[in-house]
Amino acid sequence: MLQLHTLERYKDDQGNEIVYDGEVRREKIDIRFKGSNNTLVIDARADIKDLLVTFSGDNGRIEIAQTTKKRAGLRFELRCGHESLIRINENVGCAGRTFISAVEGVTVTIGADVMFAKNIEVRGDDTHPIYDVRTEKRMNPSRSIVVGEHVWIAKHAVVMGGVTIGNGSVIGFRSIVTSSIPNNCVAVGAPARVVRRNIAWERPEVVPRRPNEEYPRKGEKSEQYWNLTDDDGVQEGSPVVRPRPPKKRRWTRVLPAPVRRLARKLRSS
């Protein structure tokens, strides 16, 4: 295994290559090549804060785009296997290190303007195989993932293989996304379920704001991401939950206990 602790242009005789023309970085950089013909492409304007990359096979590719807006910075642990691809588009931000895994030829795509909180995993694989003991067939093949543009993923969330998350959506705290989520909605839980539709979110924090302050402030609105939820765009089998009607309260529950007992006797007689 070849291990590098400097982010700069590089190429070796095994065909491994780093394509990067920005400022040389040495802090919190750990790049590991275990195979051959792997390529790491990082835009010179990418705001790299913390980067651990492991190419665990051959012919893997990782692309990290530019940061042109104020963001928390890029903090990633990236694992790329044989003939796999991880693509991180522009203006992504990470409050803490986000783990992304693409192996067995799958692709993980992170859309532009995605906001990651802390301790998040986006994994196209389960790391270890699971088999059906009767047929001996593999039950958990690796699958590709697409996280759309302007998606907010909260702390401790996990996005599993085979999932697409639509533009403008929010994934709640400690949620586990196992099925595709449409655009402009809030999904929470394990597994994650859609609980609100037709929402939009913005990056400016509410922490410093005064009570009853008007939202959004002038210039805060990202018009291109204020859209109605399109449930028809959700893949078959995705967890779309319709609001439940309120339960009807039985009239006997409001009566005194002796009266309820008498009513039960009359019904049974």
**73-129 per-position pLDDT tens digit:** 999 999 999 999 999 999 999 999 999 999 999 999 999 999 999 999 999 999 999
Measure CA 145 to chain center. 9
Sheet with 115-116: list strands edge to edge: 93-94, 115-116, 152-153, 170-171, 185-188, 193-197
pLDDT at 231 over 50: yes
For the chain, the average pLDDT equals 91
pLDDT confidence tier of residue 268, bands split at 50, 70 and 90: low
Own/partner pairs, 117-120, CB within 8 angstroms, 24+ separation = 117/152, 117/153, 117/154, 117/155, 117/157, 118/155, 118/156, 119/155, 119/156, 120/94, 120/96, 120/153, 120/155, 120/156, 120/157, 120/158, 120/159
The kind and range of the H/E element at 161 are none
pLDDT at 230 over 50: yes
In the set 82, 128, 150, 156, the catalytic residue is 128
82 is catalytic: no
Statement: the pTM of the whole predicted model exceeds 0.75: yes
22 vs 261: which has the higher pLDDT = 22
pLDDT confidence tier of residue 47, bands split at 50, 70 and 90: very high
How much is the average pLDDT of 157-169?
98
pLDDT of residue 259: 67
CA distances from 106 to 60, 80, 84, 159, 203 (A): 10, 9, 5, 14, 30
The distance in angstroms from the start CA to the end CA of the chain is 82
Q: Name the burial class of residue 182, with classes exposed (0-12), middle (13-18) and buried (19+) by CB atoms within 10 angstroms of its CB.
A: buried
pLDDT of residue 242: 42
pLDDT digits (tens, 9 = 90+) for 173-196: 999 999 999 999 999 999 999 999
pLDDT at 240 over 50: no
pLDDT confidence tier of residue 269, bands split at 50, 70 and 90: low
Can you read off the two tokens belonging to residue 3?
A: 């291990």
Residue 257 DSSP class: H
Main-chain phi, psi angles of 147, to 5 degrees: -100, 120
Q: Provide the residue type at 167 as one letter.
A: N
Main-chain phi, psi angles of 266, to 5 degrees: -65, -35
pLDDT of residue 241: 41
pLDDT confidence tier of residue 254, bands split at 50, 70 and 90: low
How much is the average pLDDT of 52-60?
98
pLDDT of residue 244: 46
